[in-house]
Amino acid sequence: MSPFDLTVMMYHYVRDPGDRCEAGTGIPGLAVAQFEAQVARLAREHAMIAWPDLRDFLVEGRPLPPSACLLTFDDGLLDHFHHVYPVLRAHGLSGLFFALARDGGEPLTLAHKLHFLLPVLGCQRLRESVWDWLSPTQHEGFSLAEVRYRAELNIGSPEDDTLILKSVLQREFADEAEPILSKLFERHIGDEKAIARDYYLSRAQIEAMVAGGMHFGGHSASHPWLDWVGTAAQGNEIAASARWLRDIQAGPWAFAYPYGGFNARS
């Protein structure tokens, strides 16, 4: 099979300014009308498939239709129930939702804390706030990582500083950043766990989506760069997805590496 015979679309936020998913977060997304227009166009130009079609191709070798297209959605966000699911149902389509292995009551992941904090503090103020919590030795490591990412990513403009900050915090300084960002979240935004409950899909919403023909895959539990954590941590993250999925839907399941990061061990 040629790699050009399958198109896979990946979405995250699908929301309008001020709607029930975006209200008060400052986190923008793809407008709902624009998403629906994209889905309609894709359906005209491709043979839309669901996860079982791709699963049967991968596991059993059953052929896919020419110009197949699969719609996928990362992180298990509330947007996917309120905006994505109704659009897919209206068009008679199914999506593959890569949700985090969560049972409720957990805080936001590091990545999503950043999504909330950046609109409130901005890149420079957020960097300064994190910097204030670090030791002189950590300052040195932080600065070296910034220099390396600026060179590796071929970044030169100040507008790209956000990408550098996120790269450092989500990789080399993930362990240090996690509690710092939670403190900043509480100070500048509010109750992190309460907001997390209204940010991710609930079990009832997931069950309704499954009953409506949607499919779920794994996306880890805490959304780390799997190529930056050890072998045991990788195994724990992937196993957490498997345990969670067993209660959601029959396998075999798909798995999406957070950030697209993986290595030979993962």
The answer on pLDDT for 104 being more than 90 is no
For residue 1, what pLDDT is reported? 44
* DSSP for 160-208, written as a single string: GHHHHHHHHHHTTTHHHHHHHHHHHHHHHT--HHHHHHTTBPPHHHHHH
19-56 pLDDT tens trace: 999 988 999 999 999 999 999 999 999 999 999 999 99
For residue 158, what pLDDT is reported? 64
114-125 pLDDT tens trace: 999 999 999 999
pLDDT band at 168 (very low <50, low <70, confident <90, very high): very high
Report the distance separating Cα 132 and Cα 136, nearest Å: 10
Average pLDDT, the chain: 94
Owner of token pair 């766990």: 193
Q: State the pTM of this model.
A: 0.94
CA angle 93, 35, 23 (to 5 degrees): 120
Q: Is the dihedral of CA 20, 23, 29, 34 positive or negative?
A: positive
For residue 153, what pLDDT is reported? 84
Q: Are 4 and 46 in contact (CB under 8 A)?
A: no
The answer on pLDDT for 89 being more than 80 is yes
For residue 154, what pLDDT is reported? 80
At 206, list the tokens. Answer: 């997931």
- Measuring CA to CA, how many Å separate 67 from each of 37, 39, 77, 196? 19, 15, 28, 38
CA angle 249, 54, 87 (to 5 degrees): 70
184-223 pLDDT tens trace: 999 999 999 999 999 999 999 999 999 999 999 999 999 9
Q: Are 5 and 64 in contact (CB under 8 A)?
A: yes
The answer on pLDDT for 4 being more than 70 is no
The answer on pLDDT for 2 being more than 60 is no
For residue 3, what pLDDT is reported? 52
